[in-house]
Amino acid sequence: MALFGFRRPRPGEAERHRIVDWVRETGGYGGAVVVKVNEIVCADPACPGFETIILVMAPGARTVASKIAKPLTDVTHEDVITAISAAS
C-alpha cells in the first residue's frame, strides 16, 4: 500500500548517495555541480553486464561521463577516485 507523500526508496539508493558523496569529495565539487549516478545493464557480450555511470554536470561546462565496469553495490571509493581522475 502506497501512502500519499511517501515512496519506497529505490534499490541501491544508499549506495548511489555514497557514490555521489565520493564523487563530490574526489572532484572538489560544490552544490552548484549536479552529480548523477546510475546503474545500467549492457547487452553487448563484451560488456561486464552491469555498469555504473557517473555524470558530472557543472554550470557552463560540458557534462563529464565516467563509467565503472561494476554494479552499483560493488563500487569502491578507489573506483570512484580512478574514474574521476581519468575523466579530468
List pLDDT tens digits, range 10-38. Answer: 667 899 999 999 999 999 999 999 999 99
**Predicted confidence (pLDDT) per residue in 56-76, tens digit:** 999 999 999 999 999 999 999
Give the closest residue to 16 by CA, choosing from 44, 42, 40. Answer: 40
Coil, strand or helix: which one is 42?
Answer: coil
> Which CATH architecture describes the domain 13-87?
2-Layer Sandwich (3.30)
Q: Are 52 and 72 spatial neighbours (Cβ–Cβ below 8 Å)?
A: yes
Q: Any idea where the domains of the chain sit in the sequence?
A: 13-87
The answer, yes or no, to whether residue 55 has pLDDT greater than 90, is: yes
For residue 26, with 0-12 CB atoms within 10 Å meaning exposed, 13-18 middle and 19 or more buried, which class applies?
A: middle
